[in-house]
Amino acid sequence: MKNNPQQALLERAKRFEAQALEEIFDTFHQGIYRYAYRMLGDEDLASECMSETFSRFLAALKRNSGPQDYLQAYLYRIAHNWVTDYYRSKTPPSLSLDMLPLTDSSGDPHTSFTEKDSNQQLRQALALLTPEQRQVIVLKYLEDWENEAIARTLNKPVGAVKALQHRGLEALRRIMNRYEDVNI
């Protein structure tokens, strides 16, 4: 087994120690929710995804088939699989206009409108990426993850994550350039 700061916590969770399970939930639920919200654009679906992620985690522990290490990557993989299953079974919803917060707090209406329009265009552009490209871009640039952690979550080599990141950024650049051409 790999030495990992969460290994002892994971071992206690496998014994269904309530405090360990609570600590895992407290540590990861906000990040899982935020990730699901960015991928789905809907608060209720994000809550459902978060709940189902922890439910599936507990079910895996009961079957003795839960994670051996890298708990965070395991939980995000469950959430990603739930999002993927959702998109396969339903028409994707339009992304919420409040997905990314405005960065300007100056109160200048023109600046606020311009930033809101840019944020909306970015959200629309993200929705046009492949699910894997979107996941890499969200984890790398919105969640501030390292490539190694993303690779563990996607169960892919770091080189594949870098390729997805490169292709995703190139696609975003092309899409955003089209938005600029339309607005000229």
**How confident is the model over 38-97, as pLDDT tens digits?**
888 889 999 999 999 999 999 999 999 888 888 999 999 999 999 888 888 765 444 444
**Same domain membership, residue 41 and residue 125:** no
Tell me if 103 is assigned to some domain. no
Burial 67-99 (b: 16+ CB within 10 A, else e): beebbbbbbbbbbbebbeebeeeeeeeebbeeb
* Domain boundary pick from 51, 74, 95: 95
Do 147 and 135 form a contact (C-beta atoms < 8 A)?
A: no
Local confidence band at 114 (pLDDT 50, 70, 90 cut-offs): low
Do 133 and 171 form a contact (C-beta atoms < 8 A)?
A: yes
* Domain boundary pick from 95, 118, 151: 95
- The whole domain housing 22 covers 1-95
**Same domain membership, residue 119 and residue 140:** yes
* Domain boundary pick from 95, 119, 141: 95
CATH number at residue 63: 1.10.1740.10
Domain count, the chain: 2
**Same domain membership, residue 124 and residue 74:** no
Do 149 and 72 form a contact (C-beta atoms < 8 A)?
A: yes
Predicted TM-score (pTM) of this structure: 0.67
Local confidence band at 101 (pLDDT 50, 70, 90 cut-offs): very low
Closest of 121, 110, 131, 97 to residue 183, by C-alpha = 121
Local confidence band at 146 (pLDDT 50, 70, 90 cut-offs): very high
Phi, psi of 176 (to 5 degrees): -65, -35
**Same domain membership, residue 2 and residue 89:** yes
